Chain A
Amino acid sequence: MTELKDIPETSETRFGDFGGQYVPETLMTELEKLTACFNEAEADPDFQAEFHRLLNEYANRPSLLYFAKRMTEDLGGAKIYLKREDLNHTGAHKINNVLGQVLLARRLGKTRLIAETGAGQHGVATATVAALFGMECEVFMGKEDTERQKLNVYRMELLGAKVTAVTSGQGLLKDAVNAALQDWAARPEDTYYVIGSAMGPAPYPAMVHAFQSVISTEAKQQLQTVEGRLPDAVVACVGGGSNAIGSFAAFIGDPSVRLIGVEAAGQGVDSGKTAATLEKGSAGIFHGMKSIFLQNGDGQIDKVYSISAGLDYPGVGPEHAALQASGRADYVGITDDEAVAAFEYIAKMEGIVAAIESCHAVAYVQKLAPTMRKDQIIICTLSGRGDKDVAQIASYKGVAL
């Protein structure tokens, strides 16, 4: 059981030892303004009302908490509830955070939005909200990811965004973040950087936590209504950690609820082809934050690998690093093969084509549920829908489309 001491202490810019604002001086004034703006907005009932109106009327919230009856029966252990972020407008949890941040961008008088994207879901969400508010939008995406996620590239362009393929590094999510940070430093006056995960310099991790916490605030209430109790475990996949922190937020103070983040182990945690940051990484400073990173002994950031474009990031948000260090949350790895098996499993078992990212969480639930009693409850967050992944999974399975 978690005791209160397990919850990391937070300050204005830190979670335990992690967080901070490790960015070039050029961006510090922007972060100061953003912090003030976010603090004001948090306390402003009009802002909150507009944010929640958009979540409900535009993004289709609240999202369902669905009892996965066939999965529960098949696995023969704990009851499994799925928090259906895949049913949100644009098909993933990313829209929750984007709506909040773009409202802040407008409050700051910005006219241009930029974003990084891995799987393309955050880019699509940002392009969508840019269209909704008539703002200019440029999305940075690793070249490799633009190949893996062609459908989302076209969706972003359809929505009026410019998609810039980033060729530096491995052409993956990390490189897209580098490019976005550089673009922001070149044009800080009119540009707002919509960071897509619970990472980056303060106040982003706290901001993303605040905007994504709607996931667990709803789920807690929904479960209370149907079961009259708290869950025993909450399981979510972790890339940078936004859907996971959103899924954990309302339960962090409930010591009986186990919080489990599932990382992409790629070909295996010890294979050298992995993105299991919290299992294999060490403390470092990168992308504006002190957190845990996959890196070598010199502090050079490692190459990463996962089948999932949304999870192959060599770092993780600082709050997760702190939750792991304090022992409040546990982090585990799921391999490509396990995630692909879960992709097929949940499709056949529940009629849900879930994002390959989310299927990492599902795969862990397949292991966890049978070890728990039938009167226990797991909430598993389905962070997104899997349409974007169908072609890639088919090719992984050797099926020509």
Chain B
Amino acid sequence: MNPLRKAFENGPAFIPFVTAGDPSAEKTVAYVVALANAGADIVELGVPFSDPIADGPVIQAAGLRAFAGGITVERVFDIVAAIRQQTQVPLVFLTYANIPFKYGYERFCARCAKLRVAGLVIPDLPAEEAGELLPAASQNGVALIPLVSPTSGHRLAKLTVHADGFVYIVSALGVTGTRDGFAQNLDDLIADLRKVTDAPLCVGFGIHTPEQASAIAGQADGVIVGSAIVKLIADAPDDLAGLAEYAGAMANATHSGRGQA
């Protein structure tokens, strides 16, 4: 079983996202450690890509700051190595297909395994193309995390056949960014997914308030928070206490249902 599954054993998981290298390698290490200490069950680390077509302005800007700070794929692995000296929080990478493709799928997945990066979220690698990465991923015990969207409809079974980490439900159309409303059919989507997979279902894209987090945690197995965290970092890069406070509140909201079932 993929180690990510453990993160869901006690109930809904809180999964914050930060962009690696935004604004520097040292800061990213500090943020991830702070998030883990504040109650994150998994941390998603963005590996910057020059043209992040699934990301809105907030995460795009984070990528630009990371490039300005000299981020490279090699340095992302260095960041993970530094994180690993301080916390064993489960990590997944979010990146675009060209990054592991260019690095070499086998080499990339082997590197991930060595640093205990347990999963990959790749928005531009849909089920139709995942086959080219899957052998390298599974041989190295790295989960390829499928994305499911409100438009997936009849595709759910196909999308989740290889879901050994968790399933990432994109809760809204369009790009990443904080939102107040989510796709109307989210409840139905979750119910339909439960029929085809027993993998944990995590919801992301737009979640930013504790109220939203606890509402989502009432139905799903995980709450992914990206743009809200990245924005906090952008606005106050030195305010680790502020980041820990916000993450703590989101973690508590996500965990509030634990033990009640």
**B residues within 8 A CB of A295?**
98, 102
Chain B nearest CB, measured from A170 CB (Å): 11
Of A183-191, A262-270, A348-356, the one contacting chain B is: A183-191
A283→B103 CA distance, assembly (Å): 12
Contact A178:B124 (CB < 8 A) given known A286-B98, A297-B102 = no
> Which residues in A have their C-beta under 8 angstroms from that of B146?
25
Q: Interface digits, A280-322 against B, CB 8 Å rule (1 contact, 0 not)? A: 0011111110100101011111000000000000000000000
A182 and B52 CA atoms in complex are apart in Å by 10
**Pair A298/B124 contact, Cβ less than 8 Å:** no
How many Å lie between the Cα of A168 and that of B147 in the bound state?
A: 26
- Please determine whether A25 and B147 come into contact, CB atoms closer than 8 angstroms: yes
Q: Assess whether A186 is in contact with B97, with CB atoms less than 8 Å apart.
A: no
Q: In whole angstroms, what is the CA distance A297 to B102 when docked?
A: 7
Taking CB atoms, residues of chain B closer than 8 Å to A174 are 51
A290 CA / B159 CA spacing, docked (Å): 21
Contact with A along B118-142 (1 / 0, CB 8 A): 0000011111110000000000000
- Mask, A90-113, CB within 8 Å of B = 1, is 000000000000000000000000
Query: What 0/1 pattern do residues 73 to 102 of B give for CB contact below 8 A with A?
Result: 100000000000000000000001111011
Assess whether B259 is interfacial by the CB under 8 Å rule: no
Q: Is A151 an interface residue (CB 8 A)?
A: no
A30 within 8 Å of B (CB atoms):
yes
Question: Smallest Cβ distance from A29 to chain B, in angstroms?
Answer: 5
Chain B CB count within 10 A is highest, among A24, A27, A284, A290, for A24
Q: How far is the CA of A254 from the CA of B176 in the complex (A)?
A: 48
* Contact, CB under 8 Å: B175 / A186: yes
Quick check: A185 and B98 within 8 Å, CB to CB? no
> In whole angstroms, what is the CA distance A297 to B159 when docked?
31
Query: When each residue 32-54 of chain B gets 1 if its CB lies under 8 Å from chain A and 0 otherwise, what string results?
Result: 00000000000000000111011
Task: Tell me if A24 and B129 are in contact (CB < 8 A).
Answer: no
CB-contacts of A159-200 with B (<8 A): 168-169, 174, 178, 181-182, 185-188
Q: Are B50 and A300 in contact (CB under 8 A)?
A: yes
Question: Is A222 part of the contact surface with B, judged by Cβ < 8 Å?
Answer: no
Interface of B (DSSP majority class): loop
- Bound complex: CA A290 to CA B148 (Å): 22
- The answer to whether residues A26 and B97 also contact, given A284-B102, A295-B102, A299-B102 and a CB cut-off of 8 A, is no
Q: Say if the beta carbon of A21 comes within 8 Å of chain B.
A: yes
A interface residues, how many (CB within 8 angstroms): 37
Contact B49 A299 (CB under 8 A): yes
Does A37 have its Cβ within 8 Å of any Cβ on chain B?
A: no
Most chain B CB neighbours (cut-off 10 Å) among A26, A29, A174, A288: A26
Which residues of B have CB within 8 Å of A182?
53, 174-175
Chain B residues contacting A27 (CB-CB under 8 Å) are 151
CA–CA, A299 and B51, complex, Å: 10
CB-CB under 8 A for A168 and B175, given A23-B124, A25-B159, A29-B152: no
- Which chain A residue lies CB-closest to B47? A298
Measured in the bound complex, the distance between the Cα atoms of B124 and A288 in whole Å is 7
**Any B CB within 8 A of the CB of A13:** yes
Shortest CB–CB separation between residue A161 and chain B, in angstroms?
21
Q: Flag whether A239 is at the interface (Cβ < 8 A).
A: no
Jot down 5 A-B pairs with beta carbons below 8 A, ordered by A. Answer: A22-B124, A25-B152, A30-B151, A169-B51, A298-B102
The residues of A with any CB-CB pair to B shorter than 8 Å are 13, 20-30, 168-169, 174, 178, 181-182, 185-188, 282-288, 290, 293, 295, 297-301
**Residues of chain B having any CB pair with chain A under 8 Å:** 49-51, 53-54, 60, 67, 72-73, 96-99, 101-103, 123-129, 146-153, 155, 159, 170, 173-175
Beyond contacts A288-B124, A299-B49, A300-B49: 20 other A-B pairs, Cβ-Cβ < 8 A, are A20-B128, A22-B97, A23-B126, A24-B124, A24-B126, A25-B149, A26-B170, A27-B151, A28-B126, A28-B152, A30-B151, A169-B51, A174-B51, A186-B174, A186-B175, A285-B97, A285-B101, A295-B98, A299-B73, A299-B102
